[in-house]
């Protein structure tokens, strides 16, 4: 179905029982986000807030809250998009089967953006930033944010929509040092196309023109988060996915999406930054206040009866998880086609996506060798860490499965397979002083940290422990040993103080465990943490704590560790120190008062009563 607007999509969802209208007056400061979080957690419907305090505009959220709803929204175009992507990966198929691929070729015609004469005054009105719903998501947020923006920029050397970039980079509408209605914050991270455009504009000493589209057909929002190859316009993808050409015009030299609900135009000048943040982000912690580009507002437009879409991110899974699932559904095996030998890769959402990658590759280099050990998968690992946003990965676990029965999406069986085969003396490979995700505060400074590749292949080396051995119950300085999964045990330690103290603590642990080296072969991984029972409670807790609170080069240790020709290994268990450190950002937490206030919507007579 080709939606010509966001509202047409919401009406369709409502007709099919997938949307609820909230008629009560709701405060955009924390209440709207809290309602969204509770509904998302329950797998509930999309929400249309009809009475937003302080704004005449409506707002919508949880539109992409489940993969099933996303697939419903794109039910008429999803297969065609998948077919087009498969044709790109294997163009010979188009020659071999021209009739069956004819429809895909026609669909590609929708990729061409359509230029309109301009904005019609009857349809659009000029407003100010303060007129937009001022949604504050988490208690410590620095102000209201745009969380579903489509940020449009053009290449100053190759202007025009076909060489433009459309990305989802959060926008801070107010607070901090921003001059109300005249300045907003533009936050973008590593490996984003907008950075290339700003670099080119800076070299010429010229401001970068930026247009922020909000709303419009849902295909526009999805296109802004699609990991498209360099040089492919997101607007062309939006046309194919939405089964409707991307419509645009130029106003005062700024590109404007004429289907958007809201458009903010402005300029980013070289060297002009202001503090942006804090913001409760998708790792489950606040990204803190840092200098980011300042966007000077030119004009703000809104459609008549415009709807402001938003989402809420926090400790995963959240709605952005469904975005990731939809992207995987669309792209299929595209990444595997790009990286020879790669069979599967999974950016683990519960660990914040970038901190943890699981991968399965091939081992075909030395089929004649009697000893099985990592070879090709090490080559694949380096290719993975050099590919787009996968390069932000911090922990990469990679193996090869000759039976083709292992899945990166079945996380606990994958870890068991890895840990049974991981040679702790050989299979751990560090990358130090490198880049990590901007939002990951486990490193040494913003964007800076380390990576580790754990590559295991061959026959099982051990049988994993399924109970906590008695000698772990009486450790000095470490308590509450808890079984997380076979072969993995969490140990609780006192609060982290300094890395100098860590050396003393790890030496103490090493001294106590070395006498048990033989028995410890069944326990290849220990997690040192603040709350062992919390980590062991479920897989989600283990993944979140272990991989968001550790920097491989600083926080990985080992029993009976050694260096040999600059290679690090250990003869006993690998240790990850996943305690909260002083330089870490605080985790996001809901406000109890707000939670109590929104109960009215879920009680008898409330808009959401019996709808979850």
d(CA 220, CA 214): 9
**Peptide bond before residue 167 is cis, with ω within 30 degrees of 0:** no
pLDDT value at position 108? 62
552 assigned to some structural domain: yes
Q: Which two tokens stand for residue 55?
A: 């704004």
Q: Which two tokens stand for residue 585?
A: 């950002």
Domain count, the chain: 3
Tell whether 440 and 507 lie within a shared domain: no
pLDDT value at position 506? 97
DSSP codes of every residue in 548-562 = HS--HHHHEEETTEE
238 assigned to some structural domain: yes
Rg, Å, the chain Cα set: 25
Tell whether 240 and 284 lie within a shared domain: yes
Residues 442, 443, 449, 453: what is their CA dihedral angle, to the nearest 10 degrees? Answer: -20
pLDDT value at position 359? 96
Tell whether 234 and 123 lie within a shared domain: yes
d(CA 327, CA 322): 9
597 assigned to some structural domain: no
Q: Which residues of 418-454 are buried (b: 16+ CB within 10 A; e: fewer)?
A: bbbbbbbbebbbebeebbbbbbbbbbeebbebbbbbb
Using CB atoms within 10 Å of the CB of residue 195, give its burial: 0 to 12 exposed, 13 to 18 middle, 19+ buried.
middle
Tell whether 149 and 68 lie within a shared domain: yes
Angle at 343 between CA 342 and CA 346, to 5 degrees: 95
- What is the CB neighbour count within 10 angstroms for residue 4? 13
CATH number at residue 411: 3.40.1670.10
171 assigned to some structural domain: yes
Contact 509, 475 (CB under 8 A): yes
Tell whether 170 and 48 lie within a shared domain: yes
Contact 145, 133 (CB under 8 A): no
608 assigned to some structural domain: no
Strand partners, 202: none
Tell whether 406 and 302 lie within a shared domain: no
Tell whether 479 and 450 lie within a shared domain: no
Tell whether 295 and 350 lie within a shared domain: no
d(CA 437, CA 287): 11
Looking at 310, 345, 375, which one is the last position of a domain? 310
pLDDT value at position 88? 53
Range of the domain at 553: 470-577
pLDDT value at position 231? 58
Tell whether 428 and 338 lie within a shared domain: yes
Side-chain-facing half-sphere of 28: CA atoms under 13 Å: 28
357 assigned to some structural domain: yes
Q: Which two tokens stand for residue 18?
A: 């997938």
Tell whether 451 and 487 lie within a shared domain: no
Tell whether 123 and 27 lie within a shared domain: yes
Tell whether 363 and 306 lie within a shared domain: no
Per-10-residue mean pLDDT of the chain, 612 residues long, equals 93 97 97 98 97 97 96 90 64 40 54 82 87 98 97 93 92 97 88 81 93 97 83 84 94 95 96 95 94 96 96 94 85 73 93 93 76 90 89 94 92 98 97 87 88 96 96 95 98 97 97 95 98 98 97 97 96 98 95 97 93 86
């Amino acid at each position: 179905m080709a939606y010509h607007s966001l509202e047409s999509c919401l009406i369709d969802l409502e007709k099919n029982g997938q949307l609820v209208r909230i008629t009560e007056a709701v405060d955009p400061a924390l209440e709207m986000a809290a309602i969204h979080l509770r509904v998302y957690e329950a797998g509930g419907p999309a929400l249309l807030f009809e009475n937003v305090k302080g704004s005449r505009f409506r707002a919508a959220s949880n539109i992409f809250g489940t993969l099933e709803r996303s697939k419903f929204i794109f039910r008429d175009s999803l297969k065609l998009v998948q077919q087009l992507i498969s044709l790109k990966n294997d163009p010979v198929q188009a020659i071999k089967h021209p009739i069956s691929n004819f429809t895909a070729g026609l669909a590609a015609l929708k990729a061409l953006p359509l230029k309109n004469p301009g904005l019609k005054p009857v349809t659009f009105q000029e407003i100010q930033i303060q007129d937009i719903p001022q949604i504050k998501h988490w208690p410590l947020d620095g102000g209201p944010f745009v969380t579903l923006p489509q940020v449009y920029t053009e290449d100053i050397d190759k202007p025009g929509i076909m060489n433009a970039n459309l990305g989802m980079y959060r926008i801070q509408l107010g607070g901090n040092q921003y001059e109300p209605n005249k300045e907003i914050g533009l936050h973008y991270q590593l490996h984003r196309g907008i950075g290339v455009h700003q670099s080119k504009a800076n070299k010429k000493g010229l401001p970068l023109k930026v247009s922020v589209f909000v709303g419009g057909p849902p295909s526009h929002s999805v296109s802004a988060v699609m990991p498209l190859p360099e040089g492919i316009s997101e607007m062309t993808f939006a046309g194919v996915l939405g089964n409707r050409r991307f419509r645009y015009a130029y106003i005062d030299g700024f590109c404007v999406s004429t289907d958007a609900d809201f458009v903010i135009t402005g300029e980013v000048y070289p060297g002009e930054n202001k503090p942006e943040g804090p913001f409760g982000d998708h790792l489950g912690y606040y990204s803190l206040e840092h200098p980011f580009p300042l966007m000077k507002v030119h004009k703000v437009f809104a459609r008549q009866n415009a709807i402001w879409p938003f989402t809420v991110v926090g400790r995963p899974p959240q709605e952005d998880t469904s975005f990731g699932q939809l992207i995987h559904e669309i792209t299929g095996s595209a990444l595997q086609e790009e990286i020879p030998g790669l069979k599967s890769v999974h950016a683990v959402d519960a660990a914040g996506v970038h901190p943890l990658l699981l991968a399965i590759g091939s081992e075909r280099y030395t089929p004649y060798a009697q000893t099985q050990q990592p070879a090709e998968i090490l080559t694949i690992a380096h290719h993975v860490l050099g590919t787009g946003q996968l390069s932000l990965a911090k922990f990469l676990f990679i193996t090869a499965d000759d039976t083709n029965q292992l899945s990166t999406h079945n996380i606990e069986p994958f870890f068991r397979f890895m840990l049974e085969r991981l040679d702790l003396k050989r299979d751990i490979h560090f990358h130090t002083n490198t880049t990590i995700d901007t939002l990951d505060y486990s490193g040494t400074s913003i964007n800076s940290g380390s990576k580790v590749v754990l590559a295991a292949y061959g026959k099982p080396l051990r049988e994993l422990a399924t109970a906590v051995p008695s000698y772990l119950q009486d450790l000095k300085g470490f308590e509450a040993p808890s079984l997380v999964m076979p072969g993995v045990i969490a140990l609780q330690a006192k609060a982290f103080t300094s890395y100098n103290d860590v050396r003393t603590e790890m030496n103490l642990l090493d001294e106590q465990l070395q006498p048990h080296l033989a028995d410890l072969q069944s326990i290849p991984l220990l997690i040192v943490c603040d709350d062992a029972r919390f980590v062991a409670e479920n897989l989600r807790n283990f993944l979140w704590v272990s991989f968001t609170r550790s920097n491989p080069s600083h926080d990985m240790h080992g029993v009976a560790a050694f260096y040999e020709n600059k290679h690090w290994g250990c003869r006993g268990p690998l240790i990850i120190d996943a305690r909260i450190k002083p330089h870490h950002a605080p985790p996001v937490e809901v406000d109890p008062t707000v939670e109590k206030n929104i109960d009215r919507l879920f009680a008898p007579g409330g808009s959401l009563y019996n709808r979850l």
